[in-house]
Structure 1
Amino acid sequence: MRVVILPTEKEASDFAADFIEKFITEKNDSVLGLATGSSVLLTYDAIIDKYNEGNLSFKNVISFNLDEYVGLEPNHKQSYRHYMSEKLFSHIDINENNIHIPECLDGDFESTCENYESKIKSHGGIDLQLLGVGSNGHIGFNEPTSSLNSRTRVKTLTKNTIANNARFFDASEPQPSIAITMGIGTIMDAKNILLLGLGQHKSKAVADLVEGPLSSFCPGSVLQYHENAIIVLDQLAASNLKLYDYYVHSEKMNVEYMA
């Protein structure tokens, strides 16, 4: 696991955007796993800037989103399909047919999940998976005690996750309590993983993820076992790391070596 600590959210997000740009430049038909939420917003902004500057094209890129709320119409302002359109897809040249987000309206969800897994495999698997981390250590909607070998499935959200997301919903509207999410096993199958942890409120989850024991109580801790996982943090999110100074020194040496 490579841990990159940068002073600010902006610098951490720019690092992630630069990494994604380099990745797509080297493999223009990359299969990307994409995330939603506040952690990736600045990264998407930076990616859009790169696209507008003519430095990046998504024409051949395939995307698979991590998750989606069950029961929300695709055009609902809090659906993740709407989020992705508003925050990224409508600003770049990605082919609509190459966008994959779980279908979560009434239906046979078991088949939906199996088909999602099959689609990922049919494209050769995910080349680069972008992640955030929840304050309780979840990745995707894989809540604490999720199976570390789970596949795409319907998952009940914890009260913590529902409370954290309540600010996005009007007080008068019902808030989803279940979602379809890629499983932890699905995420771990990605060839490369890039996780963003930003802000003081993520510092405990980050410490558990990076330095804690492997545990289903912190689903993100499974990334310790991934051979190509990069954890990108701002200083606040990294503030509880016991080996903070080592990670800074190690990354400095890594940059000098790559130069």
Structure 2
Amino acid sequence: MEKSFQIENLAVKTYGETKAMGEAAADYVASKLQTAISKKGAANLILATGASQFSFLEALQTKEIDWKKITVFHLDEYKGLSESHPASFRKYLKERILNSVVPKKVYFLNGDAEDLEGELRSYEEALKVHPIDIACIGIGENGHIAFNDPAVADFKDPKLVKVVELDEACRNQQLGEGWFPTFNDVPKEALTLTITAILNCEAISCVVPDERKAQAVYNTLYGDISTACPGSILRTHKETVLFLDKASASLVK
């Protein structure tokens, strides 16, 4: 059963089951894409990865969406990781949704590009040319959004995409989700859209299931708006919905 409330600008919706949460988020994203297409004839979308997005991406593929009119960006990628690696986010997105829906255009962050600075510049230019109608993101166990961990998060970042160092909590999360065999195998750096790039989006769908995210959800909703919990900045955005399941909402007041 859905429960809804609002904290500052942030709309929060909680569901008893993870599947229901994913379905609701998919409905919301599909509606935003359809509205953009009806107004402009096209839409621009950011997709996230990770275990938290499984139910949402599965549901999104079932919605009535004209993917031929949608340009897709992705949120982040490990530095130095080839697309063939099991943890590659490019591989994840292709296998979990993009190969099935076949969008008009996809811009991937190439973490193992030979000219990394050129890769960042071209990606930033593409973002400027394609203002994002809706970003689909999550919140990490350390409160990060994209790979903007507390130590590197900047609410007024002048860049739209950058290389960041991943903190220990973030790397442990990637290990715990099973993407890497050992902690030392988890890359120490990643390419990420900045918080500025995320806040520039017209709307944001933030999908956060699982009990291991409960404290980060609590800090996002009730803590100071601070880079100590980067997700807290979502309370300032004009059109963000936070989708939770019973486990991730277990500390919600």
Shorter-chain TM range is 0.7 to 0.9
Equivalent-residue separation in structure 1 for 2:185 and 2:222 (angstroms): 37
Residue 236 of structure 1 deviates from its aligned partner by 1.8
5+ unaligned residues in a row in structure 2: which ranges?
1-9
Matches within 5 A, 1:1-259: 1-28=10-37, 29-50=42-63, 55-95=64-104, 98-123=105-130, 125-145=131-151, 146-150=153-157, 151=159, 152-166=161-175, 167-171=178-182, 174-242=185-253
Equivalent-residue separation in structure 2 for 1:7 and 1:170 (angstroms): 32
Structure having the higher strand fraction is 2
Residue 209 of structure 1 deviates from its aligned partner by 0.8
Classify the secondary structure of the residue corresponding to 1:68. Answer: strand
In the comparison of the two structures, how many residue pairs are matched? 235
Match of 1:256 in 2: none
Equivalent-residue separation in structure 2 for 1:181 and 1:171 (angstroms): 23
Check conservation: 2:33, 2:134, Cα contact below 8 A.
Answer: no
Percent of aligned pairs with the same amino acid = 29
Residue 173 of structure 1 deviates from its aligned partner by 8.3
TM-score, structure 2 as length reference: 0.88
Pairwise CA RMSD: 1.6
TM-score, structure 1 as length reference: 0.86
Task: Say which is worse superposed, 70-79 or 205-214, in terms of deviation.
Answer: 70-79
Classify the secondary structure of the residue corresponding to 1:88. Answer: helix
TM-aligned CA distance change 1:171 to 1:219, over 3 Å = closer
Q: Which has the larger radius of gyration?
A: 1
Check conservation: 1:69, 1:176, Cα contact below 8 A.
Answer: yes
Check conservation: 2:86, 2:179, Cα contact below 8 A.
Answer: no
Match of 1:245 in 2: none
5+ unaligned residues in a row in structure 1: which ranges?
243-259
Once the two structures are superposed, what CA deviation does each residue of 1:37-63 show, in whole Å capped at 9, x if it has no partner?
01111111112233xxxx333111001
Runs of 4+ in 1 over 4 A off after TM superposition: none
Residue 182 of structure 1 deviates from its aligned partner by 0.3
